[in-house]
Structure 1
Amino acid sequence: MARKNQKAPWEPEEEIIWVSKSEMKRDMEELQKLGEELVGLKPSTLAKFPLSEDLAEAIHDAQRFKNEARRRQLQRIGKLMRYEDPEPIQAALDKVRNKHSQNTAVLHKLEQLRDRIVEQGDTAIDEVMELYPAADRQRLRQLARQAAKEKSSNKPAKAFREIFQVLKELNDEEF
């Protein structure tokens, strides 16, 4: 006769995963660090994050506090983060960080284009016209000649900076 408490051999046993206290502490510290990063963001950026009302309010309060009150509030945020799913928050934070990197890359690309306009003249301006059809070819040629003249006579690079501003405006209009 079979015992009542005994499982049948064909039923799978549930696997128990033991988590050490140190590992739990590390996880909580990571959540608190994530919360600290959220506190450092601007309110307009924070509005785009998928946060619960309690967490959003706690972050807003932490932004106002100083010293010890801020430290305690950050601990509270860490505690509230335990009940949140950190993956969408982390993904949104990564997106915000990446946006800054993308903006920097675009500005570097525009600087290189400006340098080519000053050095190569019409061939580089033709490239700009392909990229930005709304560009004023005559204005770019005029600025390129002026920048080359300023460079040769060691004058301040006013036209050089103005070419960059024109390219930046064209890029902003496109997006």
Structure 2
Amino acid sequence: MEISDSVVAEQIFVSRVVAILLKEGKNLQAGKEPNYHFWVFFKEFIQEYLEKHHMYKQEKLLNHLLTKALQAGHKVRIKKILDEHENGRKMVMILNGILGESFGNNDTTLVGLKNIILAYEEGYVHHVQEELHFVQHYIENHFQEADFKEFEILFEEYNGSPKAEDLAKRAMQFESA
């Protein structure tokens, strides 16, 4: 698998989990019983996959390449993707805060989840679409071969922790539920 394929696959995986999140959020909004197994999983997904794997990689790897692109004069598109990354980080922090130390059947947690998912529904979808578009089109069209080689080395250095792989497998059980 080429490095750009690996990065695209990761973005597609995150977008699938966002779709599951929105489905579970809509179930909450409709007054259905919360799927506690999902919310416990999702809190772990935020902390172990998004923060320690996905966003960490973006910040360490993509920002390095984005800095090069900024120096090459691609300011508008790069500014947009950096802003998009910050928006994604804020959404993750808010969700993590609402889930708190443990997810319980209390009105505060449920109302918070309903409200944040409703408020950010379009934001989640937009965010993952923007990142995916950037990975699929912008990087491939604007980075030089030397950038790809450097990116590949860094990407492999941060890729594939056993915990991240386990969470990826566990996420898919909620997709069909």
TM normalised by structure 2 equals 0.29
Query: Which structure has the bigger radius of gyration?
Result: 1
Q: Which has the higher contact order (CA 8 A, sep 6+)?
A: 2
The structure richer in helix per residue is 2
TM normalised by structure 1 equals 0.30
